Amino acid sequence: MSNISIIEGASDEAIAGWLARAIGEAIAEGGPTAIAVPGGSTPFPILERLASMPLEWSRITVWPTDDRIVPEDHPASNTGRIRALLGPVGAEVVTLTEMEQVPRFALVWLGMGEDGHVASLFPNTDPRPDDRDSIRRLTPDPLPPEAPFDRVTLTIPALLASDRLLLVIRGEAKRRVFEDALGGRGDLPVARLLAAATQPVVCFT
C-alpha cells in the first residue's frame, strides 16, 4: 500500500501541527473546508491543541465521524465535546444524523479500536465499501462497557470521500491489529477501509 505512511512516536503537539498544516492547505485552495474528526480519549488532547492554532476557523465545518445516541450535553456525546472546543473559535460543528447530506471531506481523521473498528463501524455491523448510505444508525455487539449506547456513524464510502485520511493509533495491541490490516490479514473494518483507500493515508503511532 504505497499510499500509506507511518510516523512513529508522534506527540499530541506534533499531530496537531500536522493537522493544522493539512487543514490550512485545504483552506488555501478556496471555498469552505469540511473535515471529520473522531471522539474518544485519544483525540481530545490533540483537538485542544489544534483549537489554539491560528486557522481560519470560520471557513471550517467539522463533522464527527460518529457519535453515541445521547443528548449533546451528555458526557458521552462526541458532538457536544467537539462543539465545546471548536465552536468558540468559530468552526461550524455538525450534528450527525441520518438526514444529513455528507460533503467531500478535505480530511478524515480516525481512531481505531483493538477490535479493528473505525468510527462506529464495529465488526458485527459488516461495514462495506459499496454501502449506498453515507450515514447509518447501528448497535455495536458487544456494547462497549464504557459507552453502552447505540451509534450514528459515517460509512466507509463517506469516510473514503476525502482527500486525506489520518489515523492516530496508540498502544501495542492496536498497532498489531493495524499491521495485520496493512498486510491484508483478516477482514476487520479497518482492513476493509485501508484496502479500499486510494488517497494518501497517514498513521501516527
Residues paired with 166 in a beta bridge: 109, 202
pLDDT given for residue 184 in this prediction:
85
- Measure Cα distances from 72 to 68, 80, 170 in Å: 9, 5, 27
User: Using one digit for the tens of pLDDT, what is the confidence trace for 139-183?
Assistant: 998 888 888 999 999 999 999 999 999 999 998 999 999 999 988
For the chain, percent of residues with pLDDT exceeding 70: 100
Amino acid at 45: P
pLDDT given for residue 205 in this prediction:
87
pLDDT given for residue 1 in this prediction:
62
Q: Read off the pTM.
A: 0.94
Q: How far apart are CA 23 and CA 27, in angstroms?
A: 6
pLDDT given for residue 99 in this prediction:
82
35 pLDDT more than 90: yes
CB 117 within 8 A of CB 189: yes
Query: Which is it for strands 4-7 and 60-64: parallel, antiparallel or unpaired?
Result: unpaired
User: Using one digit for the tens of pLDDT, what is the confidence trace for 69-86?
Assistant: 999 999 999 999 999 999
pLDDT given for residue 146 in this prediction:
83
User: Using one digit for the tens of pLDDT, what is the confidence trace for 105-120?
Assistant: 999 999 999 999 999 9
Q: How far apart are CA 82 and CA 97, in angstroms?
A: 16
The CATH architecture of the domain made up of 4-204 is 3-Layer(aba) Sandwich (3.40)
The number of beta carbons lying within 10 Å of the beta carbon of residue 187 is 12
For the chain, which residues make up each domain, given as ranges?
Answer: 4-204
pLDDT band at 42 (very low <50, low <70, confident <90, very high): confident
2 pLDDT more than 90: no
Tell which residue, 25, 33, 176, 48, has the closest CA to residue 94. 33
